[in-house]
Amino acid sequence: RALNKVQAVAWKINPYMFHTLSACLGKNIQIGDKFICHDRETFLDQHIPSIDPAIWNMPSSSPEFKKAKGQIARAYSKCIDNQQLEENAFRALKTAAKFLNYEAIHFPCYFDNRLRIYYLHTSGLHPQGANFAKSLLLFADPLQVTEENREAVETELLVTIANCYGN
């Protein structure tokens, strides 16, 4: 029952965020705390360290050589991470584009071996995805705030804000 209840939640694409994020990607604009850059040369200019070529002629046991090697390894790792973020963002936007005009969409779920519920995340767009992907989603049937549910809504909002602040 729990799985069916979660899968029954109807979502829709947030058109404002879709168009905003589509315009930002590929233009070297910082989105949230992650920098998503389509221009590879700009990214490399900003993140690849400038190292004196003479260092590579030094013995590999020298501190200067080890430091330079570490700098290159960290820059390479950052480049790979950025590439994955970019690919995930484009995949999420591509999926969102397909469903932009739908009234409601649903995401399939599964239980893991601890009986926790997760969304299948093959498209990069799902409610448990990165903040970038989650910003593309709205509830298709939003709950109206009334006097009867105001306190519960405020409590849930404060918990959500605290959770986002902690990340």
Predicted local confidence at residue 67, as pLDDT: 92
The whole-angstrom distance between residue 7's C-alpha and the CA centroid of its chain comes to 21
Those residues of the chain that have pLDDT short of 70 are: 26, 28-43, 166-167
Predicted local confidence at residue 151, as pLDDT: 93
> Whole-angstrom Cα distance, residue 113 to residue 98?
32
Predicted local confidence at residue 3, as pLDDT: 84
C-beta atoms surrounding 46 within 10 Å: 12
- Exposed/middle/buried for 6, CB within 10 Å: 0-12, 13-18, 19+? middle
Q: Residues 69-82: pLDDT tens digits?
A: 999 898 888 878 87
H or E segment to which residue 158 belongs: helix 150-166
- Exposed/middle/buried for 89, CB within 10 Å: 0-12, 13-18, 19+? buried
Predicted local confidence at residue 85, as pLDDT: 78
Predicted local confidence at residue 103, as pLDDT: 95
